[in-house]
Amino acid sequence: MNALRSAPGELFDNLDFDLPPELEADEPPEARGLARDEVRLMVSYRSDARIVHAGFRDLPDFLEAGDVLVVNTSGTMNAALPATRADGTPLTLHLSTRLPADLWTVELRTENLEPLFDGEPGEMLGLPEGGRASLHTPFRPDNRYRGGKKNRLWVSTLDLPFSLNEYLDWYGAPIRYRYVREAWPSGYYQTVYATEKGSAEMPSAGRAFTPELITRLVAKGVQVAPLILHTGVASLEEDEPPYEEFYRVPAATAGLVNAARDSGRRVVAVGTTVVRALETVTGTDCATHPGEGWTDQIITPERGVRSVSAMLTGLHEPRSTHLWMLEAVAGRRHLRIAYQEALKGGYLWHEFGDLQLIL
């Protein structure tokens, strides 16, 4: 492990920076001959801007007995389906978020994974085995994109020949983007502690955990608390705010979070999804309550963070709204220092990349 102190540079302007293509992880670490937990870990301390470079297997060295580690146990669906337009044009349909009344938010993409903006209300898409997807209305119809483009996300209903998860297991595939050049089996997109499928994309901050590492953490006295937030597609347009996602925070988890905070122990969120769920059920008095529903909570530096004191997270793209949340947790200056170190140190971005622990 190598510890150093960095001076802040002019890295961000409105959370913008250049991400070199070679730092975009285009395959899981297993394809590079590594185990899940052999990715890198950058530990950054807000109190003194110290940065420690480590491996993810070193995580127990940075957590303490009594810390509460909150994880998102949502499992990843095979949410990318081959679809066909009425004129025979093939495309890819991404299922995003299941809404009330059995509606879905869906995304249209070409076979080459480029976003499509030419959907029409009432359009019917053919799916495998006689399934159908009906486009009803644009999602957020008042949110038009630059250049007069139409909407990318649609409210839809699905008509499938058998149950959703069975259908997706047969005909779907994990959602991937252009920086992942090869299709990988669905097992590479699941965390080891997933309990309930429902996420369009993997809650990837938890991907590096292994049963052995969790056992080491528990043996050290770290408490692991679960919640659910079913993530939608992460391919937001530049400056596009996140949309509603389903969450469930159990009473036991809310109790552990409150007890830790009241006794001065740390609450460590594994990923932005955990922060979003906890912030939805944490009031201005900083008391966390159980609850479930669809959250549209957006975490910004102006709003602040009430529920957690530390965060394990991946490295996020320039101008993404996830960086708003990280700035709320760590502050702009600290984020500049950490991301400068990540870029200089060759850390890998995206779901198969390296991780940052903010303490």
pLDDT at 13: 57
pLDDT at 141: 56
Task: Tell me the CATH class for 2-76+183-358.
Answer: alpha beta
At residue 256, does pLDDT exceed 90? yes
Q: Which helix (H) or strand (E) holds 234?
A: none
pLDDT confidence of 348, banded at 50, 70, 90?
very high
Per the model's pLDDT, the better-predicted residue between 148 and 251 turns out to be 251
- Whole-model pTM above 0.75? yes
Using the predicted structure, report yes or no on whether residue 123 has a pLDDT greater than 60.
yes
Are 310 and 270 spatial neighbours (Cβ–Cβ below 8 Å)?
no
253: three-class secondary structure by DSSP: helix
**pLDDT score for 145:** 45
The answer, yes or no, to whether residue 106 has pLDDT greater than 90, is yes
Cα(336)–Cα(328) distance, integer angstroms:
13
pLDDT bracket for residue 119 (50, 70, 90): very high
Rg (CA), the chain: 20
Segment 86-102, tens digit of pLDDT: 999 999 999 999 999 99
The maximal CA–CA distance of the chain, rounded, in angstroms, is 63
Mean pLDDT, the chain, integer:
91
How confident is the model at residue 149, as a pLDDT?
53
CB 348 within 8 Å of CB 39: yes
Residue with tokens 């991301």: 339
3-state SS, 133-146, equals EEEEEECCCCCCCH
Mean pLDDT of 172-183: 91
Contact of 267 with 307, CB cutoff 8 Å: yes
Residues 204-227 pLDDT 10s: 999 999 999 999 999 999 999 999
pLDDT of residue 66: 97
Lowest-confidence pick of 28-37, 109-118, 147-156, 303-312: 147-156
What would the mean pLDDT of 332-339 be, rounded to a whole number?
A: 92
Task: Using the predicted structure, report yes or no on whether residue 57 has a pLDDT greater than 60.
Answer: yes
Tell me what pLDDT residue 59 has: 98
pLDDT attached to residue 243: 79
For position 321, what pLDDT does the model report? 81
Helix (H, G, I), strand (E, B) or coil at 94: strand
Phi then psi dihedrals of residue 78, to 5 deg: -80, 80
Listed by start position, the domains of the chain span: 2-76+183-358, 80-171
Tokens 């394809």, residue located: 31
- Which SS3 state, helix, strand or coil, does residue 18 take? coil
pLDDT of residue 8: 36
pLDDT at 105 over 60: yes
